[in-house]
Amino acid sequence: MVGVPEQRPASAGVLTPPEAVFAPVRSYTAFEETVERLGTAIKLGLLAPGSRLPAERELCARLGIARSTLRQALTALGQSGHVFATRGRRGGTFVSDPQPPADPPSAEMLAQWRQTCDQRLAVELGVAMLAAQRAEPADLDALDEVAETLEATLEDFAAYRQADIRLHVGLAEATRSPRLVQAATEAQGAMSDLIAYIAHPPQVLASSNAQHRRLLAAVREGDALRAVRAMAEHLQGTEHVLAGLLPGH
Amino acid sequence: MVGVPEQRPASAGVLTPPEAVFAPVRSYTAFEETVERLGTAIKLGLLAPGSRLPAERELCARLGIARSTLRQALTALGQSGHVFATRGRRGGTFVSDPQPPADPPSAEMLAQWRQTCDQRLAVELGVAMLAAQRAEPADLDALDEVAETLEATLEDFAAYRQADIRLHVGLAEATRSPRLVQAATEAQGAMSDLIAYIAHPPQVLASSNAQHRRLLAAVREGDALRAVRAMAEHLQGTEHVLAGLLPGH
DNA sequence: GATTGAAGGGCGGATGTCCAAACCTTTTCT
DNA sequence: AGAAAAGGTTTGGACATCCGCCCTTCAATC
Please judge whether A13 and B224 are an interchain contact, meaning their C-beta atoms are less than 8 angstroms apart: no
Contacts of A5 in chain B (CB under 8 A): 84, 86
Query: How many CB atoms within 10 Å of residue B152?
Result: 12
Percent of chain B with pLDDT over 90: 73
A27 touches strand C (CB under 7 A): yes
Query: How many CB atoms within 10 Å of residue A199?
Result: 8
Distance of CA B176 to the CA centre of its chain: 16
Mean pLDDT, residues B66-90 taken together: 97
Identify the pLDDT of residue B16: 80
Contacts of B127 in chain A (CB under 8 A): 122
List, in sequence order, every beta strand (DSSP E) within A138-189: none
B61 touches strand D (CB under 7 A): no
Nearest to B162 by CA among A13, A11, A25: A13
Q: Which residues are registered as beta bridge partners of A86? A: A92
Tell me the CA distances in angstroms from B127 to A15, B132, B184, one per residue in order.
21, 8, 8
Is the distance from CB of B23 to CB of A173 less than 8 angstroms?
no
**Alpha helices (H) along B14-93:** 30-43, 56-63, 67-79
CA A73, CA A50: separation in Å to the nearest integer? 19
Examine the pLDDT at A1 and tell me if it is beyond 50.
Answer: no
Assign A245 a pLDDT band (cuts: 50, 70, 90).
confident
Please judge whether B119 and A179 are an interchain contact, meaning their C-beta atoms are less than 8 angstroms apart: yes
Range of weakest confidence among A103-112, A171-180, B137-146? A103-112
CA A130, CA A163: separation in Å to the nearest integer? 21
pLDDT tens figures, A110-162: 889 999 999 999 999 999 999 999 999 999 999 999 999 999 998 888 899 99
Distance CA B88 to C1' D3 in A: 13
Assign A6 a pLDDT band (cuts: 50, 70, 90).
very low
Q: Is the peptide bond before B98 cis (omega within 30 degrees of 0)?
A: yes
Please judge whether A18 and B118 are an interchain contact, meaning their C-beta atoms are less than 8 angstroms apart: no
DSSP-assigned letter for residue B80: T
Distance CA B88 to C1' D6 in A: 5
User: Could you give the 3-state DSSP secondary structure of residue B13?
Assistant: coil
Examine the pLDDT at A5 and tell me if it is beyond 50.
Answer: no
Taking CA A222 as the corner, what is the angle to CA A216 and CA A224, rounded to the nearest 5 degrees? 85
Distance CA A10 to C1' C28 in A: 18
CA A131, CA B196: separation in Å to the nearest integer? 28
CA A170, CA A172: separation in Å to the nearest integer? 5
- For residue B145, the surrounding DSSP H or E stretch is helix B137-152
Mean pLDDT, residues B61-72 taken together: 97
Q: How many CB pairs under 8 A join A and B?
A: 217
Contacts of A224 in chain B (CB under 8 A): 232
Question: Across the interface, which of B62, B169, B180 has its CB nearest the CB of A22?
Answer: B62
A3 touches strand C (CB under 7 A): yes
Instruction: State the pTM of this model.
Output: 0.91
CA B101, CA B83: separation in Å to the nearest integer? 13
CA B143, CA B19: separation in Å to the nearest integer? 41
Is the distance from CB of B51 to CB of A12 less than 8 angstroms?
yes
CA A188, CA A195: separation in Å to the nearest integer? 10
Nearest to A90 by CA among B13, B22, B8: B8
Nearest to B103 by CA among B199, B194, B201: B194
Please judge whether A18 and B169 are an interchain contact, meaning their C-beta atoms are less than 8 angstroms apart: yes
Assign A16 a pLDDT band (cuts: 50, 70, 90).
confident
pLDDT tens figures, B201-237: 888 899 999 999 999 999 999 999 999 999 999 999 8
Question: Across the interface, which of B12, B21, B94 has its CB nearest the CB of A9?
Answer: B94
Q: What are phi and psi of A214, to 5 degrees?
A: -60, -40
Please judge whether A30 and B28 are an interchain contact, meaning their C-beta atoms are less than 8 angstroms apart: no
